[in-house]
Amino acid sequence: MNESSKIKEVHAPPSFAFHPYNILLLLSIVGLTAIFLSLSAAFVYNRVQNNLPPIRLPNIFILNTLILLGSSGTMWWAKKAYLADNTGAYKQALSATILLSLVFMTAQYFGWSQLFQQNIFINSNNSAAYLYLISGLHFLHVVAGLPFLGVFLWKAYQRMKEPVSVLVYFSDPEKRLRLRLLTVYWHFLDALWIYLALFFWINYLVQ
């Protein structure tokens, strides 16, 4: 066991289970899950009640799913690198996550553009309105996570310049907690997107 790992064990509290940040994240996830499930139910209800035609998602939505899965992988990599005190890998993993997030946002823009080309606009019908609302709301939550990723990366480059500062950075239990919470949030967004993609594809197939 290296010196950094020993310091982590000494300074880390026995459990973060009831930390305010944990509770806040849990409430946020529960709230977001309820919102998206409600919107999903409203989508189905409006489609059935108004006998609306199904909407086929552009294939780029599949690419978006793979991109988000990749970002989940890089966030896992960042957490693993942090616990292993691997400075280089930690910075690379955070950078890769930010890059993949930006690629996702760009691809999502093209996905909406392809819907426009099919003459499917937000005011076309209720199904289209819910599709844009749901995908747009998810998009905004990805955007909301980017500043936190940016702060982690900026602090890593600012403080990981010499052995002592690196040791202090990796030994900070509060920073480790925040990284874990951000990782959980990112995995949640990815799982939520997979659910939404499957939801819309199933609705298209069940005509």
Q: 156-190 pLDDT, tens per residue? A: 888 776 666 666 667 778 888 888 999 999 999 99
Q: 61-90 pLDDT, tens per residue? A: 999 999 999 999 999 999 999 888 888 899
- Determine the Cα–Cα distance for residues 160 and 169; give it in Å rounded to an integer: 7
Class of domain 18-205: mainly alpha
pLDDT at 2 over 70: no
Give residue limits of the domains in the chain. 18-205
Percent of the chain with pLDDT over 90: 60
Of 79, 57, 49, 20, residue with least CA distance to 134: 57
Of 36, 53, 28, residue with least CA distance to 195: 36
Contact criterion met (CB below 8 Å) for 107 and 67: yes
Per-residue pLDDT, 144? 94
Of 54, 65, 101, residue with least CA distance to 198: 65
